[in-house]
């Protein structure tokens, strides 16, 4: 009797199955699966020369670029859990994550290399140093163990300290196959990745590309003009976007139309306004709303093709291998009752890295408690009312108020702080801070203080000072009240 917990090294398998199909398009460059596998194998041996071995935790701080894709696959080939670092974070935040995951190595590139000065006793390589290294022959992974850790991505929470989300090879595999059973797979499919590949939204496109055998059209950054061009000329069939991107695409598109090849605008990363969805419907743009997070290795709930124009505002139903329920006061509730969104499935993380307590809190009987609020309608379609009540989503990036508040509170002149997300036409939401001071303070100084410690997008766009923060009887901050103060 055979145990099936492994899968052949997927890049190698793909390169064997369809060597001449295009794997990556980037600017004017096209890379086939054969070339990608060949390049990743060389890089794996160069990384080996640098001292990286199976099981070594490696942090990656790189932009959207084919080199980053080579690096990601090379690390999978060696069998290294890879910590994907967000290059929008501050040096202090990066340093914290690198230490928290206990990465022995960091691989990065200019200009980020200077940010890592203070990350002591780690070995830091620029990508060029790796690419200039000699090779060392080491055993590469013929098979991936589905339960092995593939990637780690940090996400914050109510505590204000980010947690590393473990994503296994199995998580990525089941995410890709779960998605294909909903969205289908056409011979001419090509997926645009203009979202960061250090986020699960981008990383998962790279995995799907290899598992499906389709090209990823990789962009260093989101550029609505270039992307609209691809969608108009029919060279891409699917794109992952957040609502801020969708707005920009629509605005730039004007009266033009997308090619009939284009079949899926996969819209995730937070709520979208009904007016935006209706505008898309009017233009015949096939928007598939989706709900997912780092912990679910991208989508877990997505609209199906036949519902994409009928169920505006809903995120749809779970992917085939995944399950969903709504829990209120510890009990599963029926349709049309609001509660916490609770999910299960082989694409859900096995847990947070070295966070026993958080794991105990978030996982119960095999279900993951997302902290987000929503309800299921009678037919079982999910409506997400609020990402976890305090979560701010700004241009697709998650901002946890507690994390920003912790930084503000660390300033000696600050007594209390409350951070909330305020609607913004460009970014969806932006963080704003309300503070109570111990002593007079120039608010600009406070802003600069935050900029040193936080990623730019997390720094409050507005600071106001008040006598007292709105709290309830048990002293809990009333964020809804706070929001009104900014409007």
Return residues touching its own copies (CB under 8 A). Answer: 1-4, 7-8, 10, 13-14, 16-19, 21, 170, 174, 177, 180-181, 184-187, 211-213, 304-306, 317-318, 320-321, 323, 344-346, 348, 350-351, 359, 363, 366, 368, 379-380
Given a contact cutoff of 8 angstroms between Cβ atoms, the answer to whether 402 and 156 are in contact is yes
Considering all CA atoms of the chain, what is the largest pairwise distance in Å, rounded to the nearest integer? 73
Which residue, 13 or 163, has its beta carbon nearer to its own copies? 13
- State the nearest-atom distance from the C-beta of 19 to its own copies, in Å: 8
Closer to its own copies by CB, 215 or 396: give it: 215
Alpha helix locations (H) across 321-397? 356-362
Give the sign of the dihedral formed by CA 125, CA 127, CA 129, CA 135: positive
E-strand stretches of 306-389: 317-318, 323-328, 331-332, 339-344, 351-352, 363-364, 367-376, 382-386
- Residue 340: CB atoms within 10 A of its CB come to 18
Write the CB contacts of 176 (distance below 8 Å, at least 6 apart in sequence): 204, 207, 208, 211, 212
Cβ at position 65, least distance to its own copies in Å: 27
Least Å from the CB of residue 310 to its own copies: 11
CB of 351 to its own copies, least distance (A): 5
* Residue 205 Cβ vs its own copies, minimum distance, rounded to whole Å: 16
For its own copies, the closer CB: 38 or 224: 38
Whichever of 331 and 476 has its CB closer to its own copies, that residue is 331
Q: Which is nearer to its own copies, 19 or 91 (by Cβ)?
A: 19
Token pair 């709105």 is at which residue? 470
Q: Write down the least CB distance from residue 9 to its own copies, Å.
A: 11
N- to C-terminal Cα separation, the chain: 65
Instruction: Mark 168-178 as b/e (b = at least 16 C-beta within 10 Å).
Output: bbbbbbbbbbb
By beta-carbon proximity to its own copies, the closer residue of 247 and 289 is 289
Q: Report residue 246 as tokens.
A: 């969708």
Smallest distance, its own copies to C-beta of residue 256, A: 25
Distance (Å) of CA 441 to CA 217, 405, 409: 48, 17, 13
Rg (CA), the chain: 22
Nearer to its own copies, 212 or 457 (CB): 212
Toward its own copies, which CB reaches closer, 314 or 406? 314
Q: How far is CA 197 from the centre of its chain?
A: 8
**Residue 305 C-beta: closest distance to its own copies, Å:** 5
Of residues 12 and 127, the one with the C-beta less far from its own copies:
12
Helices 200-212, 169-183: inter-axial angle, 10-degree rounding: 70
Cβ(289)–Cβ(267) below 8 Å: yes
Query: How many other C-beta atoms lie within 10 A of the C-beta of residue 329?
Result: 7
Per-residue CA distances from 142 to 14, 48, 158, 415, 465 (Å)? 13, 16, 40, 56, 59
Q: Closest separation between CB of residue 348 and its own copies, Å?
A: 7
Closer by beta carbon to its own copies, 212 or else 375: 212
- Closest separation between CB of residue 135 and its own copies, Å? 24
The label of the residue with tokens 């600069």 reads 448
């Amino acid at each position: 009797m055979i145990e099936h917990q492994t899968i052949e090294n997927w890049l190698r398998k793909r390169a064997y199955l369809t060597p001449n199909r295009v794997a990556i398009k980037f600017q004017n460059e096209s890379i086939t699966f054969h070339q990608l596998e060949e390049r990743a194998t060389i890089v794996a041996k160069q990384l080996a020369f640098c001292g990286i071995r199976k099981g070594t935790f490696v942090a990656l701080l790189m932009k959207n670029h084919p080199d980053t894709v080579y690096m990601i696959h090379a690390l999978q080939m060696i069998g290294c859990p890879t910590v994907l670092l967000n290059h929008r974070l501050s040096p202090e935040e990066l340093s914290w994550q690198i230490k928290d995951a206990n990465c022995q190595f960091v691989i990065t590139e200019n200009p980020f290399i200077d940010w890592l000065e203070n990350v002591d006793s780690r070995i830091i390589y620029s990508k060029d140093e790796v690419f200039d290294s000699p090779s060392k022959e080491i055993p590469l992974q013929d098979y991936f163990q589905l339960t092995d850790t593939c990637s780690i991505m940090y996400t914050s929470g109510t505590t204000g300290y980010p947690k590393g989300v473990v994503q296994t090879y199995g998580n990525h595999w089941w995410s890709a196959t779960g998605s294909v059973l909903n969205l289908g797979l056409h011979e001419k499919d090509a997926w645009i990745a203009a979202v960061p590949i250090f986020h699960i939204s981008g990383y998962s496109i790279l995995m799907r590309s290899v598992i499906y055998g389709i090209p990823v059209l990789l962009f260093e950054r989101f550029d609505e003009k270039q992307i609209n061009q691809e969608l108009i000329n029919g060279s891409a069939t699917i794109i992952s976007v957040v609502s801020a991107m969708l707005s920009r695409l629509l605005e730039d598109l004007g009266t033009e139309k997308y090619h009939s090849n284009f079949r899926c605008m996969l819209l995730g990363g937070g709520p979208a306004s009904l007016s935006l969805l209706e505008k898309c419907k009017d233009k015949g743009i096939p928007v598939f709303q989706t709900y997912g997070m780092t912990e679910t290795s991208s989508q877990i709930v997505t609209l199906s093709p036949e519902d994409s124009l009928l169920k505006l505002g809903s995120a749809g139903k779970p992917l085939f291998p995944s399950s969903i329920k709504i829990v209120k006061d510890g009990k599963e509730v029926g349709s049309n009752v609001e509660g916490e969104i609770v999910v299960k499935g082989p694409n859900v993380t096995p847990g947070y890295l070295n966070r026993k307590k958080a794991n105990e809190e978030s996982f119960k009987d095999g279900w993951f408690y997302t902290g987000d609020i929503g309800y299921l309608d009678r037919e079982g379609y999910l409506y997400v009312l609020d990402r976890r009540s305090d979560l701010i989503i700004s241009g697709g990036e998650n901002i946890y108020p507690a994390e920003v508040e912790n930084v503000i509170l660390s300033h000696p002149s600050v007594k209390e702080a409350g951070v909330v997300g305020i609607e913004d036409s460009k970014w969806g939401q932006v963080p704003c801070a309300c503070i109570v001071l111990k002593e007079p303070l120039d608010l600009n100084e406070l802003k600069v203080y935050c900029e040193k410690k936080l990623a730019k997008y997390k720094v409050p766009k507005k600071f106001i000072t008040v006598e007292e923060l709105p709290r309830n009887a048990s002293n809990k901050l009333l964020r809804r009240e706070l929001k009104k103060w900014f409007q």
